[in-house]
Amino acid sequence: MGIHYGGTASTLENQLDGRVKTLHPNIHGGILARRDVEHHMEALNEHGIGEFGHLISLLFSKDGIENIDIGGPTMIRAAAKYLKRGQNDQQFRRKLAWKAFQHIAAYDSAVSEWLWKQTEGNRDAVADLENIMRGGE
């Protein structure tokens, strides 16, 4: 199994200061393509897009609004939506998808809480965000 960093799969690492490297068809196509649908596989081959069998995504949790993770949660959502990689147990797949969406919901809530505290003038908000997200590591 090959391991690829998102920026290398998309060829966009330096565009917009790295803001769009994982928001790219080379990544999402490889995650969302259904292996049991022939025209999906043909499209991957036609465009030189590799398949993703597993996804590991570490969500940013510090340094304020510039580092709010957009691509990580998007990839996790995509992987959870089409979690069909060698596991035939439908209930097991649904449980993993539920856990993925639960983790993203916790991340979004932590970011929302951090932003709310910023509007109230609380300067300890960055530390609070790091502490909230540490529970998901």
Does the pTM surpass 0.75? The reply is no
**What pLDDT is attached to residue 133?**
61
pLDDT single digits (tens) 41-100: 999 999 999 888 778 887 876 667 777 888 889 989 988 887 665 556 778 888 888 999
CA–CA distance from 84 to each of 32, 36, 38, 96, 117 (Å)?
10, 10, 16, 11, 39
Task: Give the Cβ contact number of residue 61 at 10 Å.
Answer: 21
How open is the CA angle 102-80-82, to the nearest 5 degrees?
160
